[in-house]
Amino acid sequence: MILYHGSSVIVEKPLFGYGKEHNDYGQGFYCTEDIALANEWACSGMLGGFTNVYELDAEDLSTLVLDEQNIISWITLLIHNRIVRYGSPIEKQGAEYLTARFLPDISGYDLIEGYRADDSYFTYARAFLANTISIGQLAMAMILGTLGRQVCLKSKKSFDAISFREAIDVDGSIYYPKRMERDKQARDNYYHLLEQVDRNGIFIRDIIAKEMTIDELRIS
C-alpha cells in the first residue's frame, strides 16, 4: 500500500507514540492514499510544503474500515477524541449517549481507515448532535462530499511496517488555493443541507428517546 502524508517538513521516520491526542481517531500517524489530497494537506499557506511518500506492508495488520460501519460509529469516535465545547444541552446529551452506546472498540486494530473530518466537516457532526440534521443527511453528506479518506497508523506494529520512499516538494501557489476551494465547497454544501427538511429521518432526539441500538440504525 502506498501512502502519502502532507506536511511542512520531511518525515522520514514516523514515530510511534507521538502526535496530537485529539485528532479524529486519536493519537497516530495520519496518511491518505490520495496524493492530491496530501498535497493540499502539505500547504497551510502559499509557501507550500512536502508530500512524504511511504510504502506500508499491511498484509498482517488488522484494519478497522469505518466506512463499512454505520455512520454513527464514525461520528461517535470523532466526538470521543476531539475537544468539543457544546453549544446546547441536546448536543451534550447526544454526545454522552452516543459515547456510552456506540463507541467502537479500536484497541485491537493496527490501522483505522475512514472519512477525514477537518473543521468544515466536523460542522456536520455538530449539526447532527444539535438535532439540526438527520443521520441520513449526515451519511449522504459524507458519501457525496469531497473531504477524502484517511488511513491512521495506531499500533507499534503498523509503524514498524511503514518505510519512507521520498519527499515531493509541493507548490503552495497551486495547492493552497485547492485546499481553500475544498473547504469552501464543504461549507457551501453544509448551508445547502440546512435548507433541506428530512421529515422522515432519524434525528439524535429519536435515537435517545427510543434507545435505538446499532442494529436498528443499520437497518434504518
pLDDT 10s digit of each residue in the chain, 220 long? 999 999 999 999 999 988 788 888 999 999 999 999 999 999 988 999 999 999 999 999 999 998 776 788 888 998 899 888 888 899 999 999 999 999 999 999 999 998 876 666 778 888 899 999 898 888 887 766 666 789 999 999 999 999 999 999 999 999 999 999 988 888 888 788 888 888 888 999 999 999 988 877 764 5
Q: Reduced to 3 states, what is the DSSP secondary structure of residue 26?
A: coil
Q: In angstroms, how far is CA 86 from the centroid of its own chain? A: 19
Residue-level pLDDT at 218: 62
Length reported for the chain = 220
Residue-level pLDDT at 97: 93
Q: What is the pTM of this model?
A: 0.86
- Please provide residue 153's backbone torsions phi and psi, each rounded to the nearest 5 degrees: -80, 125
- Residue 116 has a CB neighbour count (10 Å cut-off) of 18
Residue-level pLDDT at 144: 63
Residue-level pLDDT at 160: 96
Residue-level pLDDT at 140: 80
Cα gap 53→146, rounded to integer Å: 22
Residue-level pLDDT at 3: 97
